[in-house]
Amino acid sequence: MKEMTLHVDAGGGYDILISPGLLDEAGKRIRAALPMAKRLFVVTDSNVSPLYGARLVASLEIESFEVHTHVLPAGETSKSAENLMALWEWMTAHGVTRTDAVAALGGGVVGDLAGFAASTVLRGVGLVQIPTTLLSQVDSSVGGKTAIDLPAGKNLAGSFYQPSLVLMDPDTLATLPLPVFMAGMAEVVKYGCIRDADFFDFLAARPSREALMADIGRILYTCCDIKRQVVNADERDTGLRMILNFGHTLGHAYELAGNYVEWSHGQAVAAGMVTAARLGVELGVTAPGVPEKIESVLASLGLPTRIDCGFSYIEKALGLDKKGAGDKVTLILLEKLGVVRPLKLPRAEVLDVLAKMEGR
């Protein structure tokens, strides 16, 4: 697999580099992107650090970076205000300056939290995303959304802050447990649903990890290219970028119901996409048969297609949804595979339809 590069125009502009073995070249690539940086603050977690932490640090030290490492407990609960404060204090204790940078080595939790810390300490320092999970490689490391969770819900405090560089080494996917790898596939399938029906069919023909990894370069490039185009057109999530949230409104309800432990983000989004497609059919927007096609692909990947969470969590998620405005919510629905139609409706009307779907 040859190295692939995508350029994102948002923020100050930055490159996404995709290549096997890129982790061992991280120091050289970061030095080229951030020539003035003296210190690099590596944020990682307890799962990733033993696997890849030493390799990253060695690569950075070759380029004369002063490296400091902070290891978080693995899991969604680390995306907290307490850990954000701990990162601020850690960086300031080690003399962070405006020319230094944060490197997020890990999955979406690490990237979101480290990115938020980078965007706020000293009103913003450099940020390098080094995603090591499929979900973070195809989605969360690109586009500049950073956040922590609040007791009321997921990602409710955060910022838009574009990285200086994204380094994507698909070799890191080899150490993912199968359920974690497949959870990332929910976001991959999402891109086919919202933007590329041919890509959806391509994925449907590859229902195993082995088949997917054989074409992982195309998968990563296609997903990142779609997201790059959307972010370039709408960095701040006020228009086109909302389509990236297909399946997420209900997915967040499922995550909240499971206290962010029972269902991973990818699993929740998988079930959320099926429910959103069914909702689209009920509202006369989505062509019949689309929910079944999505359900079939997700089921073949071992992902849940339905989660019973209790209707109160759906009500809460719709009340907190970041796509809402006043008493209305913008639903991200499909007309057909590859074609999205955002639809703004009164929140009460949406809840009524969902209640009927749930047999309430």
pTM of the model: 0.93
pLDDT at 224 over 60: yes
Comparing 46-55, 106-115, 150-159, which segment has the lowest mean pLDDT?
150-159
Give the span between the Cα atoms of 142 and 115, in whole angstroms. Answer: 11
Q: With bands split at pLDDT 50, 70 and 90, how would you rate the model's confidence at 321?
A: low
Which residues neighbour 341 within 8 Å (Cβ) at sequence distance 6 or greater? Answer: 285, 333, 334, 335
pLDDT at 357 over 90: no
Whether CATH 1.10.260.40 fits 4-175: no
Stretch(es) of the chain classified as CATH 3.40.50.1970: 4-175
pLDDT at 358 over 80: no
pLDDT of residue 257: 87
Quick one: DSSP state of residue 284?
T
pLDDT at 325 over 90: no
Whether CATH 3.40.50.720 fits 178-357: no
Q: 14-18 and 66-72: which strand pairing?
A: unpaired
Residue 152, SS3 per DSSP: coil
Q: Is the backbone of residue 310 left (phi > 0), alpha (psi -120 to 50) or beta?
A: left
pLDDT of residue 323: 56
Stretch(es) of the chain classified as CATH 1.20.1090.10: 178-357
Cβ 1 vs Cβ 217: under 8 Å: yes
Give the span between the Cα atoms of 224 and 226, in whole angstroms. Answer: 5
Tokens standing for 150?
Answer: 């609040």
